[in-house]
Amino acid sequence: MINNPDDYDELAGIGTDKKKTKKIKPPKKMTEARLANIALYYLERYSSSAQNLRQVLERRAIKSARTHPETDMQTVKEWIDTLINRYIEVGLLNDIAYAEIKTRSGLERGDAPQVIAMKLAQKGVGKEIADSALDSLAEDFPMPELQAALNMIRKKRIGPYRTDSKIRAEKRENDLAKLARAGFSYDTAKRMIDADSVEELISMIEENKN
């Protein structure tokens, strides 16, 4: 199984004989058609921002150029620019839609809003688009930080999700620290961990939806 999408076509087959060693094929020389194939292969498997796809293609081009030093990187960058612009025009790349999808999936995973914003920035999403995507969460989640924190403690089974009251008391500081390390404010962490019950937290969040 190939885990790194950037290396999918650089690995050769591995035989069943344990004495056989892995043979790594040298990267092929980069062409405009090859770049397009790499881009489409990537987009078939992963959602991406325009800048993230640009970085993926540039990494592949640089790797190829190490084996083929005659490569004109300026020309390759122009090919990449053309591809990115074409994909934006036809809708294969849409940073607004990408940011909205990643924002909601991040909240469902239990990512704090500031962590979501950081991840979007790492993928090359502009601050204005990221802020707009985060603001749009308020339409369904008036208290997005609390909702994300609730999703996290549900996943980690901490705070009021602990069924043993003695263990819950013993682990209180550890649970608070987990939320703090995940990017949540102390106030949010305390409200989550010190709630009397899960029902109390859900009720608090639901009331703010009305």
Write the pLDDT tens digit of every residue in 96-128: 999 999 999 999 999 999 999 999 999 999 999
pTM score: 0.78
CA Rg value for the chain: 23
Phi, psi of 14 (to 5 degrees): -110, 125
pLDDT digits (tens, 9 = 90+) for 147-188: 999 999 999 999 999 999 999 999 999 999 999 999 999 999
Residue-wise pLDDT for 120-151, tens only, equals 999 999 999 999 999 998 888 889 999 999 99
pLDDT at 7: 46
Q: Which segments of 71-171 does DSSP mark as H helices, in order?
A: 73-90, 95-109, 113-122, 127-136, 144-156, 165-170
Helix (H, G, I), strand (E, B) or coil at 30: coil
Residue among 57, 62, 139, 146 at smallest CA distance from 93:
57
The residue among 140 and 3 whose pLDDT is bigger is 140
Name the residue ranges covered by the structural domains of the chain: 5-90, 95-139, 144-207
Tokens describing residue 169:
């008391």
